[in-house]
């Protein structure tokens, strides 16, 4: 299994419960496909470097996980199809 990092930005106008459900959704996708989550780091609301869809803030979440090679593609597919996600990036973690 390889180590990966996923950083995604949730739209800023969700409640804390809705943010928690989004984070849980993507964590469960990783776990359901044979991955193990090592750390979920919620950075909270931050100012964006540039405006995205007329929004100047976003809720940042960093997830570090180990998973088989197919999992990042499945995770990216789900992140792409969720309208609550503004931007995302999944990278291989070299530690």
The tens digit of pLDDT for each residue in 1-44 reads 899 999 999 999 999 999 999 999 999 999 999 999 999 999 99
Nearest-angstrom CA–CA distance, 71 and 16: 27
Instruction: Report whether pLDDT(95) > 80.
Output: no
Which helix (DSSP H) or strand (DSSP E) does residue 59 occupy?
Answer: strand 55-67
Quick one: tokens of 62?
Answer: 């960093």
User: How far apart are the C-alpha atoms of 20 and 48, rounded to whole Å?
Assistant: 21
Share of the chain above pLDDT 70, in %: 99
Put simply, whether the predicted model's pTM sits higher than 0.85 gets the answer: yes
């Amino acid at each position: 299994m390889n180590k990966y990092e996923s950083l995604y930005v949730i739209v800023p106008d969700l409640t804390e419960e809705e943010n928690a459900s989004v984070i849980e959704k993507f964590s469960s996708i990783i776990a359901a496909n044979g991955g193990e989550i090592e750390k979920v780091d919620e950075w909270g609301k931050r100012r964006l470097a540039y405006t995205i869809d007329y929004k100047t803030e976003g809720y940042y979440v960093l997830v570090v996980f180990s998973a088989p090679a197919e999992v990042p593609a499945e995770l990216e597919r789900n992140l792409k199809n969720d309208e609550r996600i503004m931007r995302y990036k999944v990278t291989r973690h070299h530690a």
